[in-house]
């Protein structure tokens, strides 16, 4: 598929989404999913939360990936699962 093609792949068929009804999960929900499904250990999560409190403006989910506690792939899986997206 070329970049110039305006057709979407068949697995990405357009489905209308009513964004007014979309529930965006918060960091706590994403972290709960990661501990349950992606092997994030509670001790590691608590350590990241302490570091977040010490660092102003630091976002917890980004911190988890920067520390290597969660891969970007696992974070994407968590968002997809919680948003019920493919």
Q: What tens-digit pLDDT sequence spans the chain (86 residues)?
A: 445 555 656 666 666 767 677 788 999 999 999 999 999 999 999 999 999 999 988 999 999 999 999 999 999 999 999 998 87
CA–CA separation, 64 and 52 (whole Å): 10
Q: Is residue 42 part of a domain?
A: yes
Instruction: Please indicate, yes or no, whether the overall pTM of this predicted structure exceeds 0.95.
Output: no
Q: Is residue 21 part of a domain?
A: no
Q: Is residue 70 part of a domain?
A: yes
| Number of domains present in the structure of the chain | 1
Q: Is residue 1 part of a domain?
A: no
Place of tokens 């520390």: 67
Domain of 86 in residue numbering reads as 38-86
Q: Is residue 23 part of a domain?
A: no
Q: Is residue 27 part of a domain?
A: no
CA–CA separation, 23 and 79 (whole Å): 11
Q: Is residue 14 part of a domain?
A: no
Region of 17 (left: φ > 0; alpha: ψ -120 to 50; beta: rest) is: beta
């Amino acid at each position: 598929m070329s970049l110039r093609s305006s057709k979407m792949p068949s697995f990405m068929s357009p489905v209308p989404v009513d964004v007014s009804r979309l529930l965006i999960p918060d960091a706590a929900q994403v972290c709960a999913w990661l501990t349950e499904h992606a092997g994030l250990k509670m001790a590691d999560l608590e350590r990241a939360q302490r570091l977040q409190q010490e660092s102003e403006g630091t976002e917890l989910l980004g911190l988890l990936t920067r520390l290597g506690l969660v891969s970007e792939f696992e974070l994407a899986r968590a968002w997809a699962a919680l948003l019920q997206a493919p």
